[in-house]
Amino acid sequence: MTVRADYRYFQPILTRWHDNDVYGHVNNVTYYSYFDTAVNTYLIEQGGLDIHGGAVVGFVVSSACDYFASVAFPDRLEVGLRVGKLGSSSVQYELAVFRAGEEEACAAGRFVHVFVDRATNQPVAIPDGLRGALERLV
């Protein structure tokens, strides 16, 4: 069972009309857009990531999600985030989707960012500002 206490940071997500697919639930793909949004909001606001012109860029090299229960627009959601593994140039995020007010997750996933130099695409050490923010989620 995946519960809120397992996570360190929570990102509110307001579902949108077209998060639902033809079956009337949030499409499985859309959960990953919630994950991207939670992680990047945190990195920008807490770690100083500059997505427009910063020297480093986070590339996703793997991702996965398990779905336990469906959610649907217009549900209000929260994405829980913690850091699993923190390496010199990469980080594994662990995430879960909760309905507002609920303790048990509807889905749980993870993805790995490798930080690379924007110009050369070569892996680089995670800059100090980002690393500090990530360490607070371990």
d(CA 71, CA 52): 32
Using CB under 8 A as the binding rule, whether residue 21 contacts its own copies is answered as yes
d(CA 99, CA 79): 9
d(CA 6, CA 12): 17
Smallest separation (angstroms) from its own copies to the CB of 28: 4
Q: Is the dihedral of CA 6, 28, 100, 106 positive or negative?
A: negative
- Determine the interface stretch with its own copies among 33-41, 80-88, 91-99, 129-137 (rule: CB under 8 A): 33-41
Using CB under 8 A as the binding rule, whether residue 86 contacts its own copies is answered as no
Q: Which positions lie near its own copies, rule CB under 8 A?
A: 12-14, 16-18, 20-24, 27-29, 32-34, 36-37, 40-41, 44-45, 51-52, 57, 59-67, 70, 73-74, 111
